[in-house]
Every structure is written in structure tokens, then in C-alpha cells.
């Protein structure tokens, strides 16, 4: 720990006391990613790490108090496996820390002894069980962001990520949410800090990172149930009878646009989610030159060996979606009724 890495003139006396304590005890503190850590494991530790449920959360700390006070205090009620103090760039603490004990009983003793304990007169601290949250929610992503692209970016700027899942936003159209699961609460907390500092860059989107709310998690899971094995579906997307080829649908769409003095539509598709059972979730967008509002949506596509690629199938869904929209706004009811039904079976798509 180097004193010159701290901002000069801030809390100098306490910093010098900490350095003297480190030298006297031989304790090594390691500072990385906005936190300073002791142990994990501590000197002389034998065996694996403690089980879950052995960490306590400490809050409302005076910002000029350091480990030379906190580690002896919290180590007086049980054996510490790890102590983590969150730090500011200036060298003050951020007002909270985590203490992980060798056993759950030691952690319980710490809560009993130090919750509402006055480190200073009139300054009672909070000590409670640490909530082992491991999942983050990233909102504000564009619908075009793919799972593979997001995973690659997260692996560059965070550590310990286990999975990334994309979901259509329940409250915003043409918006995507990402659920990030990390191997531990510590890894998730460090990732949250890194991402909130602006390390996640995907286009011009303004993204927000929060802990995943359990109620929203349940809602997303209900919205993302697997499609039936013989259908393609998703949002407002119509299902497509298998005999319809991409070229046939595009010919119909282009003809309808030509008749109504519209230019050739541009179709974009992107795979945003892949499931182990073979289903792929596609985002699509159709832009008609001259029209200010593109038409977009999501659809599920299954893998098969019938010659048509998954992107082609997604484009068929997108083209039929546009056909239905144009039919409702441009042509008569009898003409609209002759278009393929949006709820037809797909025979294995």
C-alpha cells in the first residue's frame, strides 16, 4: 500500500496510523477496483473458503476510519476469513465494508455485538447479513444488440460472468434488457461498479445498471416461455406457413409497395438469443424508404435441415408482418383477407 497513491492532505493522520499498523502486524492489504482487501484467505488458513451465509455487511462507517481500527474490532468476535473496505479515489472509505467469517456462528456474533455499535459518539454503525445478490440488470439496450456481442464486451470489462440473457423490455417497445449472472456477490458488485463507471459501450445507447429485482425476474421468466415446438412466434410477428419462401413473400411485399408508390423495403435481422434446445430468438426491423417509422419485432426460430437459413425464416416473419400492416392501412378488407393468416402453423419451424 503506497501512501503516494492517495490524495495528499486528506485524512493524513489516519493514513499514517494505518501504515504503521501494517508494518507492525505484517498484515498485507491489497487495493483493486475500488476496494481494499485483507485475507481471502488470511495467513495460516487451511482448507477451502467458508460456506455461504458467513458474510456480514457493515454500513454508516465514518469515512476516515481504516482497517487498523476495523479489522481488530471485527476480528474480536470470531475468525475473519476476509475483510473488504470500499474506497474512494481520495483515500477515504466509502462508508461501508464486508466482513466474511470462518463460520456462520462467528458472523451471527458480529451482528449481535456490533449492530448499532458506536464507533464514535453519536455515530452508530449498521451490521447485518450480507445479501448475496449475483444478478445484474442492464436496461436501455437497443433491440439490435446481440447476446454474443454483449457477452464479448462484458468479458473484456468484468470478471466472473456466468451467463447473459436478453429479454424484450416489458415496458418499452423496441428495447432490450439484459440479465447478467456472476459467480459471486463480490464479482457482481465489482461488475456493477465497473459498468456504472461507463465501461460498457454498445453504440450510442444510454444504459443503466442495477441489481435485478426478484419481481422483475419472475415477470421476465413468464414473458420468455419457450414457443411451442411447431410454431414460430414472438410479439406481433405473424406465424409463417412453411410453403412460403422468402422470395415469394418479398415479391408480394415489393408488389404491394410498388402499387402504392413506396420504395423497396429494407429488412434487417439479428440473432439475439440462443437456447440449448435449438431455438433462436431474432430481432428484425423493416424500413421502407420515405417512411419515418420502421416496423420491428421479435420472433423465435428453430433449427432444421430444410434448406432455409434461420435469417431467411426471420425475414419471412418480418415481411409478413409488414404485409399485414400495409394491408390494414392501404388496401381494402377483401384484399387483406386474402393474405396469409398471422396465426397459421409452421410445421416444424
pLDDT in tens, 291-315: 666 787 888 887 665 556 788 888 8
pLDDT at residue 328 in the model: 63
Instruction: Concatenate the DSSP letters of all residues of 280-310 into one string.
Output: EEEEEEEE-TT-SS-EEEEEEEE--SSS--H
**Which numeric CATH code is attached to 14-129?**
3.30.70.330
Confidence (pTM):
0.50
Question: Is the domain 135-212 a CATH 3.30.70.330 member?
Answer: yes
Of 32-46, 120-134, 143-157, 333-347, the least confident? 333-347
* Bigger pLDDT: 263 vs 65: 65
pLDDT in tens, 70-95: 999 999 999 999 999 999 888 889 99
Question: Mean pLDDT over residues 56-83, rounded?
Answer: 95
Query: According to the model, what pLDDT value does residue 105 have?
Result: 96
Q: Which parts of the chain fold into alpha helices (H)?
A: 12-25, 67-75, 104-114, 147-157, 185-194, 214-223, 246-259, 310-330, 333-337
- Residue 38 is predicted with a pLDDT of 95
Q: Is 209 helix (H, G, I), strand (E, B) or coil?
A: strand
Position 95 scores a pLDDT of 92
Burial of 177 (0-12, 13-18, 19+ CB in 10 A): buried
Find the mean pLDDT for residues 5-15.
69
Q: Are strands 80-87 and 93-101 parallel, antiparallel or unpaired?
A: antiparallel
Q: How would residue 269 be classed by pLDDT, with cut points 50, 70 and 90?
A: confident
Q: What is the pLDDT of residue 75?
A: 96
Span 254-259, average pLDDT: 77
When comparing pLDDT for 58 and 336, which is higher? 58
Cα separation, 200 vs 248, in Å, equals 41
Decide if pLDDT at 177 tops 80.
yes
pLDDT tier at 345, thresholds 50, 70, 90: very low
pLDDT, tens digit (0-9, with 9 covering 90-100), for 118-174: 998 888 999 999 877 889 998 877 767 777 788 888 888 888 888 888 877 766 655
pLDDT in the model for residue 268: 86
Whether the predicted pLDDT of 12 surpasses 60: yes
* pLDDT exceeds cutoff 70 at 280: yes
Is the pLDDT at 5 greater than 80? The verdict is no
Per CATH, the architecture of 246-329 is what? Answer: 2-Layer Sandwich (3.30)
pLDDT classification of 108: cutoffs 50, 70, 90: very high
pLDDT at residue 1 in the model = 45
Considering the chain, tell me which residue range(s) the CATH 3.30.160.20 domain(s) occupy.
Answer: 246-329
* Whole-number Å distance between alpha carbons of 279 and 226: 8
Of the candidates 230, 252, 251, 253, which has an alpha carbon nearest to the alpha carbon of residue 242?
Answer: 230
- d(CA 252, CA 249) in angstroms, rounded, equals 5
pLDDT at 33 over 80: no
Residue range(s) of every CATH 3.30.70.330 domain in the chain? 14-129, 135-212
Q: Percent of the chain beyond pLDDT 70?
A: 74
Whole-number pLDDT of residue 41: 93
Determine the average pLDDT of the residues in 1-13: 59
41 upstream amide cis, omega within 30 of 0: yes
pLDDT value, residue 243: 47
**The pLDDT value given to residue 304:** 61
Amino acid at each position: 500500500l503506497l501512501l503516494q497513491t492517495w490524495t495528499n492532505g486528506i485524512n493524513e493522520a489516519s493514513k499514517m496510523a494505518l501504515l504503521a499498523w501494517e508494518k507492525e502486524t505484517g498484515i498485507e492489504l491489497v487495493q483493486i477496483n475500488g476496494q481494499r482487501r485483507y485475507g481471502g484467505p488470511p495467513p495460516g488458513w487451511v482448507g477451502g473458503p467458508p460456506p455461504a451465509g458467513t458474510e456480514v455487511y457493515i454500513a454508516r462507517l465514518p469515512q476516515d476510519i481504516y482497517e487498523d481500527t476495523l479489522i481488530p474490532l471485527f476480528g474480536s468476535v470470531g475468525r475473519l476469513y476476509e475483510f473488504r473496505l470500499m474506497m474512494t479515489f481520495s483515500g477515504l472509505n466509502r462508508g461501508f465494508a464486508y466482513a466474511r467469517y470462518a463460520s456462520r456462528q462467528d458472523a451471527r456474533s458480529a451482528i449481535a455485538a456490533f449492530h448499532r455499535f458506536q464507533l464514535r459518539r453519536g455515530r452508530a454503525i449498521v451490521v447485518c447479513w450480507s445479501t448475496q445478490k449475483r444478478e445484474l440488470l442492464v436496461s436501455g439496450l437497443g433491440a439490435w444488440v446481440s447476446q454474443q456481442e454483449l457477452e464479448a464486451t462484458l468479458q473484456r470489462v468484468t470478471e466472473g460472468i456466468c451467463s447473459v440473457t436478453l429479454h424484450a423490455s416489458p415496458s418499452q417497445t423496441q428495447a432490450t434488457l439484459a440479465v447478467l449472472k456472476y459467480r459471486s456477490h463480490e464479482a457482481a458488485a465489482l461488475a456493477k461498479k465497473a459498468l456504472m463507471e461507463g465501461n460498457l459501450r454498445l453504440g450510442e445507447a444510454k444504459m443503466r445498471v442495477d441489481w435485478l429485482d426478484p419481481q422483475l425476474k419472475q415477470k421476465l421468466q413468464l414473458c420468455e416461455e419457450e414457443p411451442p415446438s411447431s410454431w414460430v412466434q414472438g410479439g406481433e410477428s405473424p406465424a409463417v406457413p412453411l410453403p412460403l419462401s422468402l422470395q415469394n413473400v418479398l415479391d408480394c411485399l415489393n408488389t404491394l409497395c410498388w402499387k402504392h408508390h413506396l420504395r423497396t423495403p429494407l429488412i434487417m435481422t439479428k440473432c439475439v438469443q440462443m437456447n440449448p434446445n435449438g431455438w433462436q430468438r431474432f430481432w428484425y426491423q423493416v424500413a421502407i424508404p420515405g417512411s419515418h417509422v420502421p416496423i420491428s419485432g421479435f420472433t423465435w426460430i428453430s433449427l432444421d435441415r430444410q434448406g432455409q437459413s434461420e435469417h431467411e425464416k426471420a425475414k419471412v416473419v418480418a415481411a409478413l408482418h409488414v404485409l399485414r400492416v400495409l394491408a390494414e392501412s392501404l388496401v381494402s378488407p377483401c384484399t387483406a383477407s386474402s393474405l396469409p393468416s398471422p396465426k397459421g402453423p409452421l410445421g416444424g419451424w
